[in-house]
Structures are given as C-alpha cells and as structure tokens.
Amino acid sequence: MSMNWKNIGLFVTFFVMVLVVGYTQSWNTALVIFNMGLISAILSLGVNLQWGYAGLFNIGVMGFVALGGLAAVLVAMPPTMEAVNAGGLRILIGLAMGALTIVGTIQMRKRMAPGRA
C-alpha cells in the first residue's frame, strides 16, 4: 500500500470512528475528540518544524501548552476556597522563597568573576 493510500485510509478510519461515537454516545463527545485531534495535529506540526527541520530544542513550546491548559481550567472552573484554605500561609511563604531565590541568584551572578569563553 502506498503512503498516500495509507494516509487516506487512516483519515477515513478516524472520521468513521468519530461518526460512530457521534451516533452511539453524543455529538458533543465526537466534537471534543475531533477538536483535540486538530489541536494535537497543529501542535505536532509546529514541534516538527522547530525540532525536526530547524534542529532547535525548545521546551518553551510545551510550557506554553501547559500555561494554555492551566488558563482554560482557571477560566472554566469555579474557585474553591478549600484549596486556598489548605495552603493558606504556606502559599505566600512559597512565593516569598521563590522570589528570594531569584533575587539571590541575580546577586550571586553579578558578584561572580567573569568566565573564559
């Protein structure tokens, strides 16, 4: 089987499976599956272009995907006070420690002797 017929067969199989899900479960579920497939395809094309053809290793792509997922959850879900109460003061202490670590790292790098490159 040639590569073109293989690709066409895979696309037809995918669309038949989405139709089966739409008729047997719900069309909303089928739309979610189709939407996630499109998002994954676009994401894989972008990563393939950057890592495959350009040879650049950039973890920032996945970081932005994670931030997008976090933003979607924060917008879609109602806030829960139990989560804030569980962390309470420890959340603020953790943020302060992170800020102190960043400030300390910047100060330490300023005082270091320049290296030889």
Confidence of residue 2 (pLDDT cuts 50, 70, 90): low
Whether pTM > 0.85 for this model: the answer is no
Q: Mind listing the pLDDT tens digit for each residue in 53-103? A: 777 777 777 788 888 888 888 889 887 888 777 887 888 899 999 999 999
pLDDT recorded at residue 112: 87
Task: Answer yes or no: is pLDDT of 104 > 90.
Answer: yes
Residue 19 · residue 33 · CB < 8 Å? no
What is d(CA 90, CA 98) in angstroms, rounded to the nearest whole number? 12
Report, as an integer, the average pLDDT of 22-41. Answer: 91
Q: Where are the domains of the chain?
A: 3-111
Would you state the pLDDT for residue 117? 53
